[in-house]
């Protein structure tokens, strides 16, 4: 008989435009907490290359480091600094876009920067 835990603090945290009675927007606070759980990522672009580095920190003895660098396509890669689950969703979307671009436009997805 475990107690049922309510995931949400109140009914006011469903979207980012609703203020709580205390004058707070919970979605913004949740986003700020997610940023605190992230780690640093740095990329340096040269004329012919890009160097990417990400800080991988372990939160405890039993936890493992999660990958922070992902290959999207032959010419695109990303480094994540926030929550890994969010980044994996974006990574899946970006991979789908890179797969669709040669089929639709007969060229790889352009990367302007």
pLDDT by residue (tens digit) across 62-72?
A: 767 777 888 99
Taken in order 23, 26, 31, 32, is the CA torsion positive or negative? positive
The yes-or-no verdict on residue 4 having pLDDT over 80 is: no
- pLDDT band for 21, please (50, 70, 90 cuts): confident
- Whole-model pTM? 0.63
Residue entry with tokens 């012919």: 48
pLDDT at 5: 45
**pLDDT: is 5 or 10 the higher one?**
10
If you average pLDDT over residues 85-95, what whole number do you get?
A: 88
Q: Kindly list the distances between the CA atom of residue 95 and the CA atoms of 22, 31, 77, 82, 100, in Å, as whole numbers in the listed order.
A: 42, 25, 10, 19, 9
Written as six digits, the tokens of 81 are 């600094």
């Amino acid at each position: 008989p475990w107690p049922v835990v309510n995931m949400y603090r109140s009914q006011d945290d469903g979207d980012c435009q609703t203020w709580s009675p205390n004058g707070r927007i919970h979605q913004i606070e949740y986003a700020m907490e997610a940023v605190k759980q992230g780690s640093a990522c740095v990329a340096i672009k040269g004329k012919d290359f890009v160097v990417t580095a990400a800080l991988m920190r372990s939160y405890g003895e039993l936890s493992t480091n999660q990958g922070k660098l992902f290959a999207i396509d032959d010419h695109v890669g990303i480094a994540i600094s926030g929550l890994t689950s969010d980044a994996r969703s974006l990574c899946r979307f970006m991979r789908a876009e890179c797969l669709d671009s040669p089929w639709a436009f007969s060229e790889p997805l352009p990367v302007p920067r």
